[in-house]
Structure 1
Amino acid sequence: MSRPVVVEAASPKQHTLKTKEQSKLLSGNKNVHRSVLSVKPVQNNTSPEQISVSTARHAFKFAAQQNEANSDTHLSSEILKQQVVTSFTGLQNLAPNVSIQQQSGGASTNFYIRGVGMTDLTQNNTQSVMTYVDDVLFPYSTMASGSMFDVSAVDIKAGPVGFTHGQADTGGEVVIHTNDPTSTWHGGISEDIASYNRSITEGYISGPISRTLSFRLAGQTMHGGGWQYNPYDNRHLGNANEGALRGKLKWNPDENTEIKVSGHWMQDDSELINGTSATNSLASHPINLVSLSPSSPAGSFVLPYKQTAWTTNPDFAALVGRNASMKPSEHNLMWGMDVHASHNFGYVTGESISAYESEREHEYTDMDSSIWGTNGAYRNIVANSFTQELRLRVTDPNKRFQWLVGAHYNRMRSAQETYWDFSQMTPTRGYLSETPYNDNQQTFSQYAHVSYRLPHNVTIFGGINHEADDRQLRNLSTTNFGGSYVCGTSLCHPNTTTLSFADSNANANQFSGEVGVQWRPIQQVMTYVKVSKGFKPGGFTANNTVVQAQLNPTKPETLMAYEVGVKADPIPNKFRINASAFYYDYHNQQILNTFVVPGYGALGRYTNAPHSQIWGIEVSTQIHPIAHVYLTGNIGYERGVYKNYQGINSSAVYAHFQQTGVWAPVYNNYNNTDSGIPKLTMNGTADYRFNPIHSYEMTLGTDWSYRGAQALVPGGMQTYGYHLPAYFLMGLHASFRPNNGRWNVSVYASNLLGRKYYTSGGVSTVSEYWIPGAPRFVGGRVGCDF
């Protein structure tokens, strides 16, 4: 039972508190899971205005989000720290029907929500799942690298988006919220040390500069953690070497105006996690010194789990301007700045977001995962993005009629160079290759969203988005240096050949939208149903290009989404359950498949599947059954099927080459074929919190996750090497801290059972590779805050 406390104020100005500031003060309280502050004005005609303050236990977070008609997953900073989430990929173990994977083990990240996503091979397309940091669009997934520090919360949004902010999309969004400056002084530092000499150091300081101006400066460094090694030369691989800074200024010139200026910088010189070859189709260069997997067919090989193989051709290193001893690694610089301004005009509030993001990526990957020079890749990307967004919305969230209108503009410019080492891929290639080009994009969208609260706790809502997208691929050419077909060894002859290609364009202009209704039959239960249409423009495959047909743009994709859901707290502070069911009708789905050039080989290219379908269910629970025990769980089940799609059968193409030495396309009718998305995902935590000593709290807990098998190419579920096996992971964690949150000590173990599993993969020239997940890590963290 809560106990009210009355605070008397001499004048209205003396007790005025902003709602935002209240929430920030509460979010900064380390004991926010134990209590919540309720502030209510008390009016009477004879005494000064009063504020009634009461406290009540609050077991679960994100209470306000229980009123939203969506199936979003909301993750607090506490769960991110507990699970040691330092990159986007760690989020997939905290939400249902979500896959977030590294492309070829590098900086590009592939996002899939409910089976909708894109393999980001070349960074020339709009992602099916958008990434935002503090409401700023990051059109390339690599641009957001190094953002997962000093985070206040993460939202994972499923389904078509673009009706209340940003750009339209088909799959959803991953939204990162970082901590803002505070009006009082705060600071902290933490050190995390774990297996394989991994260390993560974080720190921040925040406080006022003047009565109206405050700041926040936060940073992170990561080092070590490499657990792979090359059995051929015993060189180790995978050590992190990353540093990041973020600074924010917040200015409130008056009570109705807020201006925030922020800037960030990230330098990443980390080594990569390299793949292991699941199958090899080049008989002249077999993968030796390996252990044959007893369950795999002839010609399929798997190195021992912590081993990987790569090669560095000195001629290739010289061509890209790197040292001959280079390992698969990044050499990236990301930086940007943004300005957020808002002003309360009374009935409406106006907002403006201006942002500039810059990317300098230099990445070396050994895609064939072998000691042979059959598919080494080096990428140079210089890119920048400018976005401008304007919004106007109703100020008072309690009004019956709510509306919001806005416009978003994004302009991208990039210059890319991709280098390939095919020096030992003979007899068809046997040379080094370079493909440079320019990629220009701009997108302009306008959106509006309205809702109206009817009697009997019924609310109807709807939104619309119109988006115009224009992109051009310019000045693309491919130069081949030397070749075994000339004199038998790479670069032994100054022979070069250059192929030039015509420019390519992709334009799109479409509407998307949503309509729905939500109903709260009783206080503890909210139900909703909605129908939405998502839209994503087409794009290009600017890969190793040898024929003009490779540059044909994909068509835009559209998705009709039908969703019904319920959010309930049937026993407040004891039991919460959210559930949803969805059906997606997908048209012109953009997928990465194989393109075969006879006499040359197999290449990756984006194509459209004219019609496919996805359906599934999701259930998320939070349970506090008895004192000290806290349980969370997510279960997602989904199925995808191609209804109309005829494409290359990648496994048949490689099998034919292995048998005959000839590259030839083999087509399949994939109608009614499973699309290969993970059918079942489960994850959760179980914590026991108690006070072993007065004013001190201890938490003991476990966490787990399960992910079903996933196809790497259409039809890949039926062939070894072309799909990732299912896996189950388990971890333990414990922490100890005083109730005032001034310091904390924690220990943890991830992949406690030492499972051997694979998190992503792909198909290269002659190898189908898997990217292994981390082995068992045991670590500890010490932090202090003031």
Structure 2
Amino acid sequence: MTAPVAAPVAATARDTHTHRPRTAPPVPPRKHARATTAAAPESVEVTARRRDFSYAEAQHTPDASTRVTAERLTERGVVTLRGLERIAPNLTIQSINGTASNNFYLRGVGFNDFTQNNMNPVLTYFDDVPFIYSAMADGMMFDLAGATVTPGPVGTTHGLSDTGGEVLLRTADPTEDWHFGAKQDIASYARSRSEAYVSGPLAQGLTFRLAGQTQHGGGWQTDPLNGAHLGDADLWALRGKLQYKPDDRTTLTLSGHFTQDDSQVVAAVPIHRLIGTQALPDLAPQQAEWDLRPQFAKLIGRSASLKPGEHNQFWGADIHFSHDFGPATLTSISAYNVGRRAEYTDQDATALAQADAYRTIVSNVFTQELRLSSSHPSDRLQWTVGAIYERSRMNQNFYFDYTDYLPARGYLASSTFGLNQESTSEFGNISYRLPHNITIWAGLLHQLDDRNITGLRSVIYGGSTLNFHGESTAANQFADQAGISWQMTKNAMLYYKMSKGFKAGGFSANTTQVQGQLDPFRPETVLTYELGFKSDPIPNSLRINGAAFYNDYHNQQILGTDLIAGYGPVSEITNAPKSESWGFEGTIEVRPVERLFVTQNLGWQRGTFQNFPTVNRAATNAYYAAHGVWKAINDNFSGVDMGQPKLTLNGSAEWRQPVAQRYSLDFGPDWLYRGSQAMTPGGTGFYRLPPYFLLGAHVSFRPASSHWQATIYAQNILNRHYFESGGQATTVYMYIPGTPRFIGGRISCDF
């Protein structure tokens, strides 16, 4: 799948050559490929050239990746990771309780990491640096050069192994000439987003780039009890790059970034009372209730006026080094990232103190990758070998206010633990171009992973203190990939590949009451079969790409339920011994007439558990409601749908009208549809998130030079009331509502 808006040639070169191959070796590029690569320093010119069909070289790469330019990200309002689901098929990204942490589902592969201490099956990368914990990407989505979403198992050519795929984000590089720019976006609910950058030379071979952003306002929720306002952003971030090129074969880049996020979060709304007899609040759209008791505020050391929100600080630095030795290119990527988080969420979604939660997380991640690759894309033989070391450390403190959760609890509680993790991976990939434009390839990955949880203590203030001994888990696994591609014609390619993915196990550390809750969940593996094609039947007028897939799971990691006697059901990440999923995705880009450009992404998927014995949470809650006694209702969800949205659609249409020969007026709609989603295995009724459809539109005015642009836009123009995610903390089932209609204006300049 490809992006509908043009990128500079350099963006194509970086994605298909510098870091080739993402999922498989490309068919060797045409004769102009070397010149394309040489244009890489001009990658900052993301708005100066607009071609309808971007990433032309990627059409010869056998993968199902969605490649998106910086311009398209801006047009679709993608300013956070969650926004990427607007431009890629079969992708769902959901906030954890409205916070900056996200759960990813790509082709249905993913899981709900409510404990926020595990690696996601879909990894996020910034400039080839893996962000093990997705929250560390908070505030980083600015001054981008483009994005790539790759589904399916990865890891045989770079980075870390996982089972679902990866989101690869490119930030803009320093330039050899002076450039600067700024962007101001103002919208409904006093929302303001500002960006600026400056880039240029410092000395011979030495260039720099400095960029920053701020976000303020935009809160659209109110509390009907007191009229309090909620949801305002309060974020600022900086990124700096220093690049040194002593010759045309060597590049050294030093990058650093810092984010301070004190934004309020979106509060959940209660959908159904599971425990107790208190009436749920009657809330209108854009209303929510929350509360913070002074005693709880004192315990966590925050002001009694605190609203649900973040108090996060992220920073990091990385060093990229590459040198072309002639027959091979050496690449080294060293990175260190730190996160300090504090977030308050009201997880009973009412003014009662039945599940008010406050979490602090201190974490750091170090990664070191070395990669040696063949240097000449035109050679028949292409190869990559490398290794990556990754180490992370985390400490969490998790506080709950259960004061109004009577008669079951009625107390303040906390859990504290540490997490240590370390992994080493070696990988290799080789491809060979046979006669008749046929290419075969194979890749192999080996990974060692060790992790342990330490010092876990659960405290009931004024009551008991429970101390638990540490647990550990280790994995020693292989993953691999093999495939074949055929460039049938100049503008049509067919490929088939098989990929085995591996993801290490971990722990569900959350309100722990018994030692058994710390039993680690096992690693998961998935064997994926994929058949795809890429075609430009009418070059520069029609592009059709598609892929079909089948996933064979073993020990799929999934959010399940455990029942603690006298305490109630608690969520835990567990394993479904056997499951499967299948589906397809496609992209159509078409220019039916000279001034109209339309793109449509489509994703469809199904999945079922073949063997998954666990506690049936819905039935267990129903039994308690009827009898007032907790009894585990066990079930095997064999044959039950896995619950991921079956159909996802997103796309846009744009009419480009010349005005007075020197200007253009671009306007059109965009749309997004996501099917219903079961939030618990076998979930029906309120346990299934309703489907939704969103419509947006924009009008942009720009000169031919594209040095500046003015845009008026609308998001959720129909003002649909919808929900992005949902879940259960204790007494109620709750949904996280999506944003209402936003109407705004944006002006930007680049010189």
Same-fold call, TM > 0.5? yes
For the pair 1:347 / 2:327, whether they are aligned, the reply is yes
Q: 1:308 aligns with which of 284, 288, 294?
A: 288
Q: Counterpart of 1:92 in structure 2: which amino acid?
A: E
The within-5 A match list for 1:168-567 is 168-288=161-281, 290=282, 303-481=283-461, 495-567=462-534
- CA–CA separation in structure 1 for the residues paired with 2:43 and 2:455: 54
Q: Cα offset for 1:427?
A: 1.2
2:677 matched residue in structure 1 = 710
Which moved further from structure 2: 330-339 or 697-706?
A: 697-706
Q: Cα offset for 1:661?
A: 2.6
1:28 matched residue in structure 2 = 45
Q: Counterpart of 1:625 in structure 2: which amino acid?
A: P
- Residue 30 of structure 1: SS of its match in structure 2? coil
The C-alpha deviation readout for 1:392-428, integer Å capped at 9, x for no partner, is 0001111100000000010000111001111111111
- CA–CA separation in structure 2 for the residues paired with 1:476 and 1:536: 24
The C-alpha deviation readout for 1:70-96, integer Å capped at 9, x for no partner, is 101111111111111110111112111
1:79 matched residue in structure 2 = 72
- CA–CA separation in structure 2 for the residues paired with 1:387 and 1:276: 39
For the pair 1:594 / 2:574, whether they are aligned, the reply is no
- CA–CA separation in structure 1 for the residues paired with 2:81 and 2:43: 26
1:67 matched residue in structure 2 = 60
Q: Cα offset for 1:190?
A: 1.0
Q: Cα offset for 1:626?
A: 0.9
Are the aligned partners of 2:46 and 2:71 in contact in 1 as well (CA < 8 Å)? no
For the pair 1:739 / 2:704, whether they are aligned, the reply is yes
Are the aligned partners of 1:363 and 1:380 in contact in 2 as well (CA < 8 Å)? yes
For the pair 1:762 / 2:727, whether they are aligned, the reply is yes
- CA–CA separation in structure 1 for the residues paired with 2:76 and 2:551: 31
Are the aligned partners of 1:30 and 1:739 in contact in 2 as well (CA < 8 Å)? no
The C-alpha deviation readout for 1:109-133, integer Å capped at 9, x for no partner, is 0011000012121122221101100
Are the aligned partners of 2:175 and 2:207 in contact in 1 as well (CA < 8 Å)? yes
- CA–CA separation in structure 2 for the residues paired with 1:653 and 1:671: 18
Are the aligned partners of 1:729 and 1:752 in contact in 2 as well (CA < 8 Å)? yes
1:40 matched residue in structure 2 = none
The C-alpha deviation readout for 1:420-454, integer Å capped at 9, x for no partner, is 11111111111111111110001100000011000
1:155 matched residue in structure 2 = 148
Name the Cα RMSD after superposition: 1.1
The C-alpha deviation readout for 1:177-214, integer Å capped at 9, x for no partner, is 01000000000011100000000000000000012100
- Residue 66 of structure 1: SS of its match in structure 2? helix
Q: Counterpart of 2:598 in structure 1: which amino acid?
A: L
The C-alpha deviation readout for 1:125-149, integer Å capped at 9, x for no partner, is 2211011000001000111111110
- CA–CA separation in structure 2 for the residues paired with 1:63 and 1:20: 13
Q: Counterpart of 1:349 in structure 2: which amino acid?
A: T
The C-alpha deviation readout for 1:151-189, integer Å capped at 9, x for no partner, is 111100100000111111000001110100000000001
1:659 matched residue in structure 2 = 626
Q: Cα offset for 1:69?
A: 1.0
Q: 1:693 aligns with which of 648, 654, 660?
A: 660
Q: Cα offset for 1:282?
A: 2.5
Q: Which runs of 5+ in 2 are unaligned?
A: 1-33
Q: Counterpart of 2:472 in structure 1: which amino acid?
A: N
Normalised TM-score (structure 2): 0.94
Q: Cα offset for 1:26?
A: 6.1
Q: Counterpart of 1:354 in structure 2: which amino acid?
A: S
Q: Counterpart of 1:552 in structure 2: which amino acid?
A: D
The C-alpha deviation readout for 1:233-290, integer Å capped at 9, x for no partner, is 11111000000100000001122110000000000000000111111122343324x1
Q: Counterpart of 2:103 in structure 1: which amino acid?
A: N
- Residue 97 of structure 2: SS of its match in structure 1? helix
- Residue 309 of structure 1: SS of its match in structure 2? coil
The C-alpha deviation readout for 1:729-778, integer Å capped at 9, x for no partner, is 10110101111111110010010111111011111111111100000000
2:604 matched residue in structure 1 = 637
Q: Which runs of 5+ in 1 are unaligned?
A: 1-16, 35-58, 291-302, 482-494
Are the aligned partners of 1:680 and 1:708 in contact in 2 as well (CA < 8 Å)? yes
Which moved further from structure 2: 265-274 or 423-432?
A: 423-432
- CA–CA separation in structure 1 for the residues paired with 2:276 and 2:450: 44
Are the aligned partners of 1:260 and 1:341 in contact in 2 as well (CA < 8 Å)? yes
Q: 2:112 aligns with which of 104, 109, 119?
A: 119
Q: Counterpart of 1:383 in structure 2: which amino acid?
A: S
Are the aligned partners of 2:544 and 2:586 in contact in 1 as well (CA < 8 Å)? yes
Q: Cα offset for 1:531?
A: 0.5
- CA–CA separation in structure 2 for the residues paired with 1:29 and 1:104: 35
The C-alpha deviation readout for 1:586-625, integer Å capped at 9, x for no partner, is 1101111221111111211011000111000111011011
Which moved further from structure 2: 207-216 or 24-33?
A: 24-33
2:10 matched residue in structure 1 = none
**TM-aligned CA distance change 1:524 to 1:727, over 3 Å:** same
Are the aligned partners of 2:46 and 2:145 in contact in 1 as well (CA < 8 Å)? no
**TM-aligned CA distance change 1:204 to 1:31, over 3 Å:** closer
Are the aligned partners of 1:33 and 1:60 in contact in 2 as well (CA < 8 Å)? no
Are the aligned partners of 1:402 and 1:450 in contact in 2 as well (CA < 8 Å)? yes
- CA–CA separation in structure 1 for the residues paired with 2:482 and 2:266: 44
- CA–CA separation in structure 2 for the residues paired with 1:744 and 1:124: 42
Q: 1:571 aligns with which of 533, 538, 563?
A: 538
Q: Cα offset for 1:566?
A: 0.3
1:104 matched residue in structure 2 = 97
Normalised TM-score (structure 1): 0.90
**TM-aligned CA distance change 1:26 to 1:445, over 3 Å:** closer
State the number of aligned residues. 718
1:139 matched residue in structure 2 = 132
